Amino acid sequence: MNDEQLLIERFYASFGKQDWKGMLDCYDDDIIFYDPVFENLETGHARAMWEMVVTSAKDLEMSVSDIESEDGYGSCHWVASYIFPRTGRRVVNRGKAYFKFSGGKISEHQDDFNFWKWSSQAFGIPGILLGWSAFLRNKVRKKARKALEKFMAGAVPTVIAPQAK
């Protein structure tokens, strides 16, 4: 494995141990993150999102496979299994992550997963019936952003800012 592949492996090993500080140590100071729920997050928002997600996760199991990298870009497949806090339902989310590296760190991270499959597990019948719709997708995004802003308002400033070198 090359250094970038090892970095991806370390990121997901930290995720599986619910070690958000270890995850953030893999990120560049100016990280850009995207996923279907939170959409675009930069630096402080991305960092706080991982702390919020990891510290609220219950019964988390994380696996990563098919780690690849070449010429400053990488990807992997991941599976996250956890209890969704809002509904208490078990979710097994399968996705693919794409990375860009800079200075030995992850500078861009994009997660891609099937929102309908995720929402079907997280919300049950409403997710099955409406998970494909812009209505549910926008409602989930709005609630996720609101939760992140509330979390950040109570967060210690060093969590929001890049880690000191």
pLDDT tens for 56-95 read 889 999 999 999 999 999 999 999 999 998 899 999 999 9
| 92 Cβ contact list (under 8 Å, min separation 6) | 79, 80, 81, 121
- Strands 27-35 and 105-113, how do they pair? parallel
Angle, in degrees to the nearest 10, between helices 134-153 and 43-56: 90
CATH number at residue 85: 3.10.450.50
The string of pLDDT tens digits covering residues 6-20 is: 999 999 999 999 999
Structure tokens at 87: 């509904």
The verdict on residue 165 lying in a domain is: no
pLDDT for 114 beyond 50: yes
18 lies in some domain: yes
Domain count, the chain: 1
Question: pLDDT at position 85, please?
Answer: 85
Q: Closest Cα partner for 110 from 6, 40, 10, 5?
A: 40
Position 133 in a domain: yes
Evaluate whether residue 159 is within a structural domain: no
Question: Would 122 be classed as within a structural domain?
Answer: yes
Residue 161's pLDDT is what? 37
Given a contact cutoff of 8 angstroms between Cβ atoms, the answer to whether 76 and 8 are in contact is yes
Residues near 137 by beta carbon (within 8 Å), at least 6 away in sequence: 36, 115, 119, 131
